[in-house]
Structure 1
Amino acid sequence: MTAHQPFSRQVLAELLGFDEQPSLSLYMPTHRTFPERSQDPIRYKNLVRDLQTQLEQQHPDLDCAPLLQPFHALVDDQDFWNSNRDGIAVFGARDYFKVIAVNQPLPQRAVANSHPYLKPLLRLVQSTERYQALCLTRNEVWLYEGSSEQLEKIELAEQVPRNQNEALGDELTPGNQQGFPNGFSRSGERGDAMMHEAAGGGKQDEINLDRERFFRAVDKAILEYHSQPSGLPMILVALPENQAVFRTISHNSHLLAQGIEMDPSRLGVEALRVHCSKLMAHSHADRVVDSLNRFGIAVGQRRALDNLADIAKAAWEGRVALLLVEAERQVPGLLDPDKDRLLVDESGDGQAPDVLDELILAVTRQGGEVAVIPPEHVMPTDTGAAAVCRF
């Protein structure tokens, strides 16, 4: 059976690497249950036929069979069609074939071009972005990775201390040390006084210092061995007092400003996934609003563009810091970087590339951000795109 794969930033990076070669992209909704799913292979076969037609028109001298062979083979893979979720994206190029399965419907479209068609996936990565959840108590740390669809505990790198003993060793305050400020002894996970004892000597101060040193060691190792390699946003799951201490000392730029202020040891995996999914949805909505606000500010600073040809020129020059693209909009045509012009296709046959997708590719490759604006938000321009320039 052909394997489904989840969408990830690694897959996106792979697709961005294909340029100036025949590339095939196929999107379609799929169904989990009979009888609807019995029609999926038929719809898919028609889309593959569209791919073949486009490919033959664009490259009349090219032997298309090797590129199309894995697409054709999928038609008869009954196990594959019986195990789908709500949508698939299928990509092919020379020596490359990948099927991405997602838990939400995708638009039905087949595109042959010099690079993969990416806009539906970019909108998807914003709404189902993968993340890491750092679970932290005073004395322990563990890590999950997942998305809105699933969450799995992952093995910490060997260099990450699992608890205070591993982090501090002989420097850890002994458990039998006497003397406590204000006459109190050890604290619970929430920092509540657990036991009264006469004497003083600052053990509670030492306990708090141990926590801070443990958190510093965790932050440094998590950043180096998990956040930087993955590039994923990180959600901190910890009680409020531990959130405050960790955020004060953390240098992890991937750490989201909002965390889950609960004791992670009391959360099951499914409950944690639900909490994380809600937080990620809010974070995505906030990023969309922030992108719209950034464009509004740029208008006042004369760093905003709304003309497609002007945006394209700025993108090729590496001047676009942020590109906003209307999710449901398509502008058939081509951008010609050599002649600095926009060629709009008015034939209406649906075979031309999407200008907005061309802009996405150009901006992404120059290190700019891309925000796909969903229908529930008002796009600030009527061209389907807007840009904030670096200068």
Structure 2
Amino acid sequence: MLYEIVHQFPDDMIFEEKGPFISLYQPTHKHFPENKQDPIVFKNLIRKIEQSLQKKAEKRLVISIMKPFYELEEDKDFWNTTSTGIAVLASQNKCIVYKLHSMVKEFAVVADSFHIKPLIKAFQGMECYHLLTLSRDNFTLYEGNRYGFTEVKLEPDVPSTLKDVLGDQLTEPYLGSGSFGGGGSPIYYEQGGKEEEIGKDTEKYFRYIDRFIFEKYSKPSKSSLILVSLKEYHAVFKQISHNSYLLDQGINASYSTLDVKDMASKAIEIIENINLKKTEKIVQSYAKAEAESLGSSDIAQVAKAAYESRVETVLIEADKIVPGRIHDNGAITFDDIDHPDIDDILDDLAVLVLKRKGNVMVLSKDKMPQAAVVAAIYRYR
């Protein structure tokens, strides 16, 4: 296979310095018969790419760069498994493909840098998370993002139930206790004297789950953890938890009463709320930084600061194109918007900031601070 399907962004290829660079974005369809048109649209887009390449490169190089596109065009399995959109980035050395779950506008260009703003926007809203469903005697872990989640299969030798974890230390007879009542207090039958010990069993079990999830999953992935359980278990688990990735907001329901779609929609609502607050916080941080001369919305100043590795975070308007390029010394040159293959200064800026280990956020026009096209927060003056 001459192309690679990737799932992470950014890929190192966006930092390549030897062009030409091809960027292709296309809306796609999940279902028949609409998806039958997708390869035809793709064929028209790659014809446009080839025509542009022929103006820039010799025939042998054009043929080499185009081969992955032709292979992708004929890959029926690929076109039968797309979602909402695709993105293809290609150079002389590599071709990568993203299957996107968010809408993109049809776009294909050959330029001296990659067009990556749509990819940044797609991935910045795709925060990964873990979903922990918890009862008094069992738990299940899921991993996902805003587009869905799957169950994490634990190793066969990993204890997961209360009985497996506590073993001989389990208070007997444990099954003498009933479920929690509506008021949040345990109900016990006959073995009322065991109430304190059984409560300790639950606490020990929750502490085990907390340590296990943090060490094996939260700590390595740095993903947010959403708890799904009855309200009374939320209180107990959060009180004993040392997992810094556990969110304050959870899903207050027994997972046995929720289907997969219910849990997914509730989790997405939580994640989107987090993303919204994160965006608002960064916009507020920019206002403070600008007031302290640690921020700017002047594109020339921001480009120079990015070249000097001074940009900590840059906010870029999603649908805006500023024709031109950023030179090796950080200076910018503006160009004609009517040029078919012109670079976008905003894309160049995004790549430069990412290369210097800064953060890039692509926002809609109404979310940008002070109606700016670009807004940067500096590490230092």
TM-score relative to the length of structure 2: 0.84
- Structure 1 residues 80 and 112, CA gap change in structure 2 (3 angstroms): same
Is the 1:306–1:387 contact (alpha carbons within 8 Å) kept by the matching residues of 2? yes
Equivalent residue runs for 1:2-81 within 5 Å: 8=7, 11-15=8-12, 18-22=15-19, 23-32=21-30, 37-60=35-58, 63-78=61-76, 80-81=78-79
Match of 1:139 in 2: 137
- The alpha carbon displacement at 1:267 in A equals 1.8
What is the SS of the residue equivalent to 1:296?
helix
Match of 2:309 in 1: 318
Equivalent residue runs for 1:258-277 within 5 Å: 258-277=249-268
Residue identity matched to 1:209: K
The reply to whether residue 188 of structure 1 matches residue 180 of structure 2 is: yes
- Report the identity percentage: 33
- Structure 1 residues 132 and 41, CA gap change in structure 2 (3 angstroms): same
TM-score relative to the length of structure 1: 0.82
- The alpha carbon displacement at 1:71 in A equals 0.3
After superposition, the C-alpha distances for 1:268-314 in whole angstroms (9 at most, x for unaligned) are 22221122122222222222222222212223333221112322233
Which runs of 5 or more residues in structure 2 are unaligned?
none
Is the 1:326–1:374 contact (alpha carbons within 8 Å) kept by the matching residues of 2? yes
CA distance, structure 2, for counterparts of residue 192 and residue 48 of structure 1: 65
Is the 1:240–1:262 contact (alpha carbons within 8 Å) kept by the matching residues of 2? yes
Residue identity matched to 2:68: P
Is the 2:181–2:187 contact (alpha carbons within 8 Å) kept by the matching residues of 1? no
CA distance, structure 1, for counterparts of residue 76 and residue 263 of structure 2: 35
After superposition, the C-alpha distances for 1:226-277 in whole angstroms (9 at most, x for unaligned) are 2344343332212223223333343434333322121123222222112212
- The alpha carbon displacement at 1:27 in A equals 0.2
Match of 1:371 in 2: 361
What is the SS of the residue equivalent to 1:357?
helix
Match of 1:125 in 2: 123
- Structure 1 residues 343 and 101, CA gap change in structure 2 (3 angstroms): same
CA distance, structure 2, for counterparts of residue 254 and residue 199 of structure 1: 36
Count of residues in Structure 1 that have an aligned counterpart in Structure 2: 378
- The alpha carbon displacement at 1:106 in A equals 1.0
Out of 151, 154, 164, which is 1:153 matched to?
Answer: 151
CA distance, structure 2, for counterparts of residue 337 and residue 229 of structure 1: 36
- Structure 1 residues 133 and 341, CA gap change in structure 2 (3 angstroms): same
Which runs of 5 or more residues in structure 1 are unaligned?
179-184
The reply to whether residue 384 of structure 1 matches residue 373 of structure 2 is: yes
CA distance, structure 2, for counterparts of residue 55 and residue 378 of structure 1: 36
Match of 1:220 in 2: 211
CA distance, structure 2, for counterparts of residue 102 and residue 230 of structure 1: 21
What is the SS of the residue equivalent to 2:246?
coil
CA distance, structure 1, for counterparts of residue 47 and residue 371 of structure 2: 34
- The alpha carbon displacement at 1:370 in A equals 2.4
Is the 1:333–1:345 contact (alpha carbons within 8 Å) kept by the matching residues of 2? yes
CA distance, structure 2, for counterparts of residue 136 and residue 329 of structure 1: 46
CA distance, structure 2, for counterparts of residue 77 and residue 198 of structure 1: 65
Match of 1:342 in 2: 332
After superposition, the C-alpha distances for 1:19-72 in whole angstroms (9 at most, x for unaligned) are 224443210112456775454334322322333344445555871322210102
Match of 1:352 in 2: 342
Of 11-20 and 296-305, deviating more is 11-20
Residue identity matched to 2:299: L
